[in-house]
Amino acid sequence: MAGIVQLLGVGGQSFAEQVLGWCRPTIRKGLKELVSGVDIVDRFKDRGRKPVEASLPLLRDHIRLIVEPLGQTDPTFRSTRTYIPLTASSVRQRLITDFNYHSKELPTVRTISSKLRALNFRPQKVAKCRPLKKIPETDAIFKRLHQINKEAILENGVLRISIDSKATVNVGLFSRGGKSRQINKAYDHDFKPDEKLTPFGLLLPETGESFLWFSNNKVTADFMADRLEDIWLKLSAKYTIHTLVINADNGPECSGIRKQWLKRLVAFSHEKKIDIQMAYYPPYHSKYNPVERLWGVLENHWRGELLETVQKTLGLARSMTFKSIKPSVKLVRKIYKSGVTLTKQEMEKIEENISREDGLEKWFFSIKA
């Protein structure tokens, strides 16, 4: 373009702009390249107003550290949003007090609100998300839980996982309360399902990696321990781990007093030569457990679909994404015996390997390798 304009002589730029429809700034750029012999590289990324992360690169991470421990899912799984009982203004104030930001260097409350929405957090309270009950130890449990999880994020060699099992899914032509664009005939009562599947999930909250297992039998303590064994080779190959932090909701099969669960954890710790820190959520507050957000995504993903076969159920689970990552999904048909327990003498030997925290013995304990 610059060469042609030069051939046109005086008024060539004006002629090229009016007759040929060329952009005059582009012509001038070409003339400079023609004279210097060096191509001018466009720097579009340096144009315009830079995001706040350019001057505060850790801002998003610090916001996540503040709000994620308080995030709760919708118990009905009607939405995949994460609700937090904090306003954007209070988050801004926490950034100042917790991470020593200066008020003048932080963005406005409106910008903080935009960052929260970008992270899929909604700063509002939801009436249906309020817990039904609250035990006296709830506040102390949450305080210690947040401390352990924060240390797990910041310390190298510590891997945090979240585990939980979901309500049993009936396989068959049953309505699941969703809407579909296709004409599907479904039963409105779950009479005699073809099969029942109980999902068990394991989530890495920091990376979004998830693992799902579907069992047509009971999800027992041995079932959960075997699933840890299944994925340990993959996790240990990818991460350097000396401590495993496990978040759970203190259910009957994985509670802090379930004997078989404690036995398997001690054996796992000694065999793999890693420390284990159990950190449970208080009763009636399981919606704060990060893996619950995985269940919310799954429920919204297959809502409106008929789970008429086991293959389709597993296929839908494999096609979902959580934080843009597809889960690993497997079917487990092994039958586990329920009600497995230990004698008093056996349990005393197991407890010798367990260190419990005073006052919160049921919710926090550690196992040394």
Range of lowest pLDDT (58-72, 151-165, 235-249): 58-72
Residue 232 structure tokens: 């340990």
List, in order, residues 6 or more apart from 71 with CB less than 8 Å away. 82, 83, 84, 121, 288, 293
Residue 177: the pLDDT is 65
Output the pTM of the full model: 0.78
Q: Tens digits of per-residue pLDDT, 283-305?
A: 888 888 999 999 999 988 988 78
Range of lowest pLDDT (18-32, 123-137, 208-222, 351-365): 123-137
Q: Which amino acid is at 250?
A: N
Residue 195, H or E segment: strand 195-203
CA torsion through residues 94, 95, 98, 100, sign: negative
213 forms beta bridges with 200, 330
Q: Tens digits of per-residue pLDDT, 83-111?
A: 888 889 999 999 999 999 999 999 999 99
Task: Give 324-329 contacts, CB < 8 A, sequence gap 24+.
Answer: 324/208, 325/207, 325/208, 325/209, 325/210, 327/201, 327/210, 327/211, 327/212, 327/294, 328/210, 328/211, 328/212, 328/231, 329/212, 329/213, 329/214
Using the 8-state DSSP alphabet, how is residue 325 labeled? B
Q: Tens digits of per-residue pLDDT, 314-362?
A: 999 999 999 899 999 999 999 999 889 899 999 999 999 999 999 999 9
Q: Which amino acid is at 31?
A: L
Is it the case that residue 246 has pLDDT exceeding 80? yes
Q: Tens digits of per-residue pLDDT, 187-229?
A: 666 677 888 999 999 999 999 999 999 999 999 999 999 999 9
* 160: number of Cβ within 10 Å: 21
- Domains of the chain (ranges, CATH numbers): 2-46 (no CATH), 49-130 (no CATH), 133-367 (3.30.420.10)
